Amino acid sequence: MLTFHYFVNQPYLGYPHEAAADFGAVMLKFSNRHFDPEHAAKLYQRYHREFVMAEQVGFDSILVNEHHNAPAAMSPSPNISATVLAKITSRVKIFIGGNILPINGNPLRLAEELAMIDMISGGRLISGFVRGGAVESLAHDVNTVHNREIFDEAHALILKIWTEPGPFTWEGRHFQYRVVNPWALPLQKPHPPIMVPGSTSTETVLWAAEHGYPYIALATRMEATDGLFANYDDALRKRGIEPTPAHHGYVIRVHVAASDDQAHAEARALFGGRIAQVTSMTDMKMHPDAGAWMAPPGYVSKEAARQRRKFMGGTPYAFYAQGYERALETIQIVVGSPESVVAKLDEIRRRFRTGHLGVAHFPTEDETITERWLEMVGAKVFPRLRQIAAG
């Protein structure tokens, strides 16, 4: 079965691009003096309207995520977004992709919050767990060297809370609880489904396979994704599990319009506009600390760092810096008429044998473009892709 996940970063649109260019980055220390809460409040209302529309046009889930200290995503608490979704939608799954465990600080409370979301939504939660980008750990003053072991311990505790009756004690390296006995437990049993979003980290891919969790590749380069899923499948088979499309997911930016020419004209402007939001790639003086913010010592293994440089460009702006034509060529974006988009997404589906397609749109200040896009993918892309996938 092929499922479609709607994804929008809930970006803060309209910040002064020249200020970002002068600073040399749009993360961590790019000053929040450029944030206008009245403007942001209107953007939240817009994104909530688009969430409702995504359900109406046929998406199977809505994906919300967690980021900090950057205008690219106004989503410091995905659980708040998920709670809103639980009340404004009635059918779609609510995919938190995901809570950043190493910076949460209290996995017991997180387990309770997620249980509440699952109950309030009537059992629609998909709980994603992630290590998060290094910027998130730096924003919350968490030692990046300990990121993975904190992640592992928090995950283990949450699973025990959800599957074993209390009270019990927990004496770990990073978390200690004398009494674990929450009275908020998930509706879904044994627990809500768990998916693991990620990029180029082989360690995370193998961790997902070790636990039998579907892995959702976040717009990773084609050749990198081939290797990620090959490693994942090998590890899954060692556990005695034969991989299926339900184990593989892929998220990609898509723009569709009535014709190929119209779609490319619009997407080229949106892509170029996003570059302007980041900064001028040709004139920008990169902040001297930006690289360290993305990959501080100890955050990833040497192999993971090598893969990131090879397949993600090594800078926070590599996606947009490659240019529109190159992004099309490397299939980092899918653009065209409904027929062209169906053909390209089906190519991706078959290449990665994926049962989960995450479909994201380019950030745009004109919400009518997003609304038209939602209507078109719902009416002319999803039905045909589902038909093809069903054989």
Contact between 140 and 90 under an 8 Å Cβ cutoff? The reply is no
Provide the number of structural domains found in the chain: 1
According to DSSP, the residues that pair with 4 across neighbouring strands are 357
| 24 to 17, 182, 287: CA distances (angstroms) | 10, 46, 4
d(CA 250, CA 228): 11
Closest to 139 in 3D by CA, of 97, 96, 102: 102
Contact 91, 100 (CB under 8 A): no
Question: Which pLDDT value is given to residue 307?
Answer: 62
CATH of the domain at 101: 3.20.20.30
Which of these, 269, 257, 219, lies nearest to 336 by C-alpha position?
Answer: 257
Q: Global pTM?
A: 0.93
Q: What is the pLDDT of residue 319?
A: 64
Other CB atoms within 10 Å distance of the CB of residue 131:
26
pLDDT in tens, 36-68: 999 999 999 999 999 999 999 999 999 999 999
User: Looking at residue 281, what is its pLDDT?
Assistant: 40
> Residue 107: which residues within 8 A CB-CB, separation 6 or more?
101, 153, 154, 155, 157, 158, 161, 175
- Ordered per-residue pLDDT tens for the chain, 391 residues: 899 999 999 999 999 888 988 898 889 999 999 999 999 999 999 999 999 999 999 999 999 999 999 999 999 999 999 999 999 999 999 999 999 999 999 999 999 999 999 999 999 999 999 999 899 999 999 999 999 999 999 999 999 999 999 999 999 999 999 999 999 999 999 999 999 999 888 999 999 999 999 999 999 999 999 999 999 999 999 999 999 999 999 999 999 999 999 999 999 988 865 444 443 344 557 888 888 888 887 787 666 666 655 554 444 455 666 788 989 999 999 999 999 999 999 999 999 999 999 999 988 889 999 999 999 999 999 999 999 999 8
Domain span at residue 173 reads: 3-389
Instruction: Give me the residue label for tokens 């059918």.
Output: 91
